[in-house]
Amino acid sequence: MRDNDGIAATPRLWRVERDAGCAVHEPGESLFEPSLVRLVLSLADDSDEDDAASAAKQTGHSDQQHKQASRGHPRKALMLNQARRETPARAAARKSVALWRAAPARSGVCVTRALDFGDTSEAAHARVLQPGRWRGTRYDRSDQEQICRSGEEAMAQPVLLPDSNVWVYLVDAGAVESFRKEAKRLGVVVAACPAVAFEFLRAPLSPVAKKKRIDALTLGAWRRLMPEAFKEAEEARRAIARLHPEWLNPSPDRNLWFKLKADWEQTWWTRTRRNPRAEAALITAIEGDRLAQAGTEAVQHRERAKEGKLVFDSISFDVLAVPTSRPYWWDGQPFEPWRVQFANILLNALERGDGAYADWLTPWLRSDFVEDVDWYRLWIREVTKEEMPLAWLRWAFQWVQATRTTTHGTPVDNQIATYLPECDVFVTSDKAFAACVEKVRPHAPARLGRGLCVPANDAAVDAVMVALKDLANQ
């Protein structure tokens, strides 16, 4: 059996996904832990086999009897082995999959790690099926996209995203392990984003101090988020697939794309933890002076805001713009600034053929996919703000940051802001950053985590612990 991309699919696994209203698994990804494969396969079998497994469990056959009964019958052996390993968690997983199979198809939802569900209550299973409780970007099934949700994501555990300064205070106070234990006890997911890791790697610190910070941030206990360029490129790819599918390569070479994705999901964090000095040198070589250029641009935005008498308290996000000259792609009508900004960023990256945006987007597009006029028309007139929340969010934070004092951390804050849709609470000791989050949040096209400002230094630790409890009790 093959899916629509021509990728071999295990028939019984595919049957479970179809019954759950899910799209195609991305090839090359390990979707099930070894301990889960037997469970999901058994759940895909017919109900009479489920009854047989239940009966086998109740009879209490010996190991020898199991072997004799299952000789020559692999599926029967599978069921007997499963019956012997029945646990409350597995029973909860069975119940969850039964709910998914009975539920109507939902766009872009696929949960695979059923055994991660620790809460077996009716309310917990009801939360699984609430569309508004899913974290991250939802994929449209018509695009044949699919997101693998971990058990934590499926149960919609609250997510706390600490800013870089909060991580520093936790490390300096020696409270990282206490923080981890408290988050685990309360059932709160702590997210770690690459933008903070990059900030630590760039910092002019002693090797020992840098290693401490990196060790804290790269613990396997945290949820490791994908880089912002990946998420923005995925937004762009979905928009292109919906509005201009003729621009897509019908036979894309996705091998490097999947390797890069797998590297960011796991290997990069491990590599950075083991040798932060080498990773810091690599980042410096790749970035060059881009961060310095971003800082210069932030200063220029601040000066223009002063000239235009743009102030924080009265800032508006309902802004239309026109170019100072008449570029060839302009149709003469005003447009939202974020649209041209995003179109320029992507087009420049694709024309250069290097950089993060090109890495994530180029494999999917035809080499001669578009004329510049059509490209700008797509982003200026055709896509909606709701389709491109991260592109809007980058512009909005740049817009509101121009009303505040600019520092060397302003460009990094803009990067970190793109992770707000993936958290419930963003904790920082930067008052200006927290204020910007709360200013943007009501106007955003996607749900954002709220900004929480905590005291600096040692007092930050107690405040973060309180934030964990408050988040768990919401």
pLDDT by position in tens, the chain (length 474): 433 333 333 332 322 232 333 333 333 333 333 333 233 333 333 333 444 444 444 444 444 554 454 454 444 444 444 444 555 555 655 555 444 444 433 333 333 333 233 333 434 333 333 333 333 333 333 333 333 333 334 347 899 999 999 999 999 999 999 999 999 999 999 999 999 999 999 999 999 999 999 999 999 999 999 999 999 999 999 999 999 999 999 888 888 899 999 999 989 999 999 999 999 998 888 777 777 777 778 778 888 888 888 888 889 999 898 888 888 888 889 999 999 999 999 998 888 888 899 999 999 998 887 778 889 999 999 999 999 999 999 999 999 999 888 777 788 889 999 999 999 999 999 999 999 999 999 999 999 999 999 999 889 999 999 999 999 998
**pLDDT confidence of residue 82:** 46
pTM for the model? 0.67
Going by C-alpha positions, the residue among 377, 110, 116, 331 that lies closest to residue 239 is: 377
| C-alpha distances out from residue 104 to 48, 100, 159, Å | 24, 8, 27
> 65: alpha, beta or left, given left = phi > 0 and alpha = psi -120 to 50?
alpha
Going by C-alpha positions, the residue among 300, 298, 341 that lies closest to residue 432 is: 298
**pLDDT confidence of residue 194:** 94
Counting every residue written for the chain, the total comes to: 474
**pLDDT confidence of residue 388:** 95
**pLDDT confidence of residue 425:** 96
DSSP letter for each residue of 151-202: HHHHTT--EEEE-HHHHHHHHHTT-HHHHHHHHHHHTPEEEE-HHHHHHHHH
Quote the Cα angle for 141-145-150, to 5°.
105
**pLDDT confidence of residue 87:** 58
**pLDDT confidence of residue 221:** 95
**pLDDT confidence of residue 93:** 52
**pLDDT confidence of residue 91:** 60
Residues 408-442 pLDDT 10s:
778 888 999 999 999 999 999 999 999 999 999 99
Contact 83, 38 (CB under 8 A): no
Residue 134 tokens read as 């899913």
Residues 264-289 pLDDT 10s:
998 999 999 999 999 999 888 877 77
**pLDDT confidence of residue 344:** 92
